[in-house]
Amino acid sequence: MKNIFTLLIILTTTLICFGQNYNYPGQIEIRGYKIGDQVDTLIFKKLGDLYFPNYLDGWTMDNFNKLPQKYKGLPIALWQQKSDSSIALTLLNDIILNITVSYMKEDEKENMAAFATEKFGADPDLKSYEENHPLQSWITYWNLINWETNDVVFQMGNSDMRKPEHPIPTDIRWNLAYSDFVLEQKIINDFRRK
């Protein structure tokens, strides 16, 4: 029993020592947009009352179009830029709450990773895993690159669904989700005070 207790203390200490300690990055600009900025929706098309989840591996066919409870009653919608199908902004009355980018090539992903590492002050947490699909031989292979504090989530990820015997694709595109809950809460509070 004493050995198990000692092992648990060592394991806990090891996890704490090697866990990432990130700085609050401040307001981050993605492709010319910042959370909290007001945008002209004439250059966007409204995709509906959607709010992309903050975690790329949390998207499912059951939740991609549902607003979380904390946003109920707020006029929040997802808008996609007409001239660029890869950038979408979650807006509250034309104010940016959340930024998502799809279809990033490897070089843009690398530039974003270097930028985020500098802003957060540490390398990202990396996670790769496989998701088996029941009743079929297809597997989804996930890769996630994550900087996260209690206040901010900045995550890039990709997925590749294929049979195990198929070759790994050479041109996998990346997606980015960025949320800052400090800025978001200020925007929501300002809206409710009006």
Sign of CA dihedral 100, 101, 103, 105: negative
* Residue 64 within a domain: yes
Residue 40: which of 99, 91, 77 has the closest Cα? Answer: 91
Q: How far apart are CA 25 and CA 116, in angstroms?
A: 8
* Residue 42 within a domain: yes
Read off the pLDDT of each residue in 10-16 and give the average, rounded to a whole number. 34
pLDDT of residue 1: 44
Alpha helices in 66-134 (DSSP H): 106-120
Structural domain boundaries, residue 63: 25-193
Number of folded domains in the chain? 1
Q: How far apart are CA 82 and CA 165, in angstroms?
A: 39
pLDDT of residue 62: 62
Strand pairing report for 95-104 and 87-92:
antiparallel
pLDDT of residue 123: 97
Give the pLDDT band (50/70/90) at residue 133: confident
Average pLDDT, the chain: 82
pLDDT of residue 72: 77
Q: How far apart are CA 53 and CA 60, in angstroms?
A: 10
Question: Is residue 157 within 8 Å of 56, Cβ to Cβ?
Answer: yes
Q: How far apart are CA 121 and CA 150, in angstroms?
A: 15
The answer on pLDDT for 47 being more than 90 is no
Residue 54: which of 182, 186, 191, 180 has the closest Cα? Answer: 180
* Residue 71 within a domain: yes
Taken as a whole, the chain contains a residue count of 194
Residue 35: which of 154, 174, 147, 173 has the closest Cα? Answer: 154
The H-or-E segment that residue 167 falls in is none
* Residue 3 within a domain: no
* Residue 19 within a domain: no
* Residue 68 within a domain: yes
* Residue 184 within a domain: yes
Q: How far apart are CA 78 and CA 171, in angstroms?
A: 27
* Residue 132 within a domain: yes
